[in-house]
Amino acid sequence: MIIDYLDSPASADIDTDLCVIGAGAAGIAIARCFIGTSTTVCLVEGGGATGEEQSQALYEGTSIGTPPLDAGTSRMRVFGGSCNLWGGGCMPLGKHDLVERPWVPHSGWPIAYDELRPYYERAREYCRIDAHPFTDNSFLIPLARAPIPFDAEKLINQVFARSPILFGNAYRSELEKAPNITVVLHANLLELHASASGASVRQARIGTIDGRRSAVRARHYVLACGGIENARMLLLSNSIRPRGLGNEYDLVGRYFMDHPCGSMGTVITDTPERLTRPYDRTQGKGLAPAFPEIGLSPAFQQAHRILNGRVHPFSVEGPVPKGIRALRDFRAALRPTAQDENAILEARLCAALKNAPSNDDDTRTRSANIAMAALRIGLGSADIVRALMQKRGGKPTVRGNRVELIGYFEQAPNPDSRITLADERDPLGLPKVCVDWRLTALDRHTYRTAAALFGAELARAAGGSYRPAAWLNDGDDATAQVHTTAHHLGTTRMSDDPRQGVVDRQCRVHGIENLHIAGSSVFPTGGWAFPTFTIVALSLRLADQLRMQLRHATLSEAI
């Protein structure tokens, strides 16, 4: 069943077996594993069924690091979570991503790839890409176009699958019909209240902006609020432990990572389609298409002591003929504009993640000139015919001679890159989040080394020349011109040693018997792979462990 906390006539407490806080990819995956069982589950979501500016405002915070990171626009507070904005990319981590690497401080997971593999298998069904076989760090799927062959000691082609679903939409009906699942919308976590000893959680205090308050009491609790919010919620839960729960060794919020991305420069070539066409994501086939990405080989990473990364080639158009411009304007004028609050919010967040300004005003202006745009199409018909001929020949409709190389990278674990609490408070009266995102010398070394390789190899493939981005030549201490991809990782990292991590290999918070964490905040390192597929795999693994613990507890009580 799904209830809206704002519509409830009274703020009644809830008693359940399992309380999962956060209805994103992780929380929904865990709750779904209990459908049809005797275990009762309460899935608590701070947002509504669709996006709302009032709920989204609770994610706002401050940024004091370099590069800056806006916590208010790099995630979404809504049923379905930030994956309401995702592109569907699914990719398993590789074996080399999980092992300790001597040149990467604080690297190494306490679990191996073989422990994750069976859950990756199950994650395919959840993401609805189950027809696709995979190996570590790549899917094994025939591609629409052959990728560029590279020296495998330098660069490799890795294939990702695109999920066709948004988790909130896909699984809402199942959760709504399940008699043992209760989804509570607009219920914001205020604090996880611990026992006097701090060894267990007694209740999750929830509330609304208008002052409603109640509690969820459960046997086990799972924080599944995302890489930033998981840490914030532990730090806020400080009525018994002044430094927050799980924070005995001052690790909660530390090792905050993302997948920094930025321009690596351009390749100048008369045949840009040689680079862009094999990696064009608009040409996929089937319900869950697959696409290659150009990655750094493990051998090259080891030889040059760098982090993992990939590059995507984007064609840069030359001057756009008038007829093509008119056709594009006409299509934009006919495109429906966002009207409801959810659509407007999604458009705003997507624009922020792309570092692009909103084009609402421009769209409205073009909408008022549909007739003029149609007239211009007629005048430019010759340009359109030529463009169609180009497209049929597998070439860009607008010619150019430049390809921009955008790099996406693993970030080195860094204890000084962290999430803390700000002095300013949100409408619930809770301290807002403060993001201190920092890069290291290893990150900057990776960008320069990888850019030189990417540029040289892709220029060779296209018979062109490489021009590195200016910032790559500015010295070791120069500010890296990279920005967030909204993949928030590492703030409650996994380790068998409580002095090195917040959760153990079972994702249980060290020292707290009934509190677990789901999501990318438990990642010790992130590789370059899109994190959602691994988030789902770890969540399914955690759900199995919780089912076992709850079953054993029930049997013990019956004896």
Assign residue 391 a region: left if phi > 0, alpha if psi is -120 to 50, beta otherwise? Answer: alpha
User: What is the C-alpha separation between 19 and 13, in angstroms, rounded?
Assistant: 12
Determine which of 154-158, 221-225, 401-405 has the lowest per-residue pLDDT on average: 401-405
Using one digit for the tens of pLDDT, what is the confidence trace for 221-269? Answer: 999 999 999 999 999 999 999 999 999 999 999 999 999 999 999 999 9
pLDDT of residue 373: 52
- Alpha-carbon gap, residue 271 to 266, rounded angstroms: 13
CB contact at 8 A, 238 and 502: no
β-bridge pairing 201-207 and 188-194: antiparallel
| CA atoms 346, 350, 352, 356: torsion sign | negative
How do residues 169-212 score in pLDDT, each as one tens digit? 999 999 999 999 999 999 999 999 999 999 999 999 999 998 99
DSSP string of 89-130, one letter each residue: EE-PPPHHHHS--TTSTT---SS-HHHHHHHHHHHHHHHT-T
Q: Indicate yes or no: pTM above 0.85.
A: yes
First and final CA of the chain: distance in angstroms? 32
Q: What is the pLDDT of residue 344?
A: 83
**Range 492-520 burial, b when 16+ CB lie within 10 A, else e:** bbbbeebebbbbbeebbbbbbebbbbbbb
The span from the CA of 559 to the CA of 555, in Å, is 6
Query: Lowest mean pLDDT: which of 49-63, 164-178, 315-329, 390-404?
Result: 315-329
Q: What angle is formed at CA 85 by the lines to CA 83 and CA 90, rounded to 5 degrees?
A: 55
The pLDDT assigned to 341 comes to: 79
Query: What does the domain layout of the chain look like in residue ranges?
Result: 2-128+165-258+417-439+491-558, 131-162+261-317+400-410+440-481, 321-386
What are 53's two structure tokens? 């500016």
Q: Give the tens place of pLDDT for each residue, 515-555.
A: 999 999 999 999 999 999 999 999 999 999 999 999 877 65
Helix residue ranges, H only, 270-380 = 273-276, 298-304, 322-334, 341-353, 360-367, 370-379
- DSSP structural state of residue 430: P
Q: State the DSSP string of 381-416.
A: HHHHHHHHHHHHTTS-SS--SEEEEEEEE-----TT
28 touches 171 (CB < 8 A):
yes
Mean pLDDT, residues 299-322 taken together: 88
Report the candidate in 246, 251, 125 with the shortest Cα–Cα distance to residue 192: 246
Domain at 2-128+165-258+417-439+491-558, CATH class: alpha beta
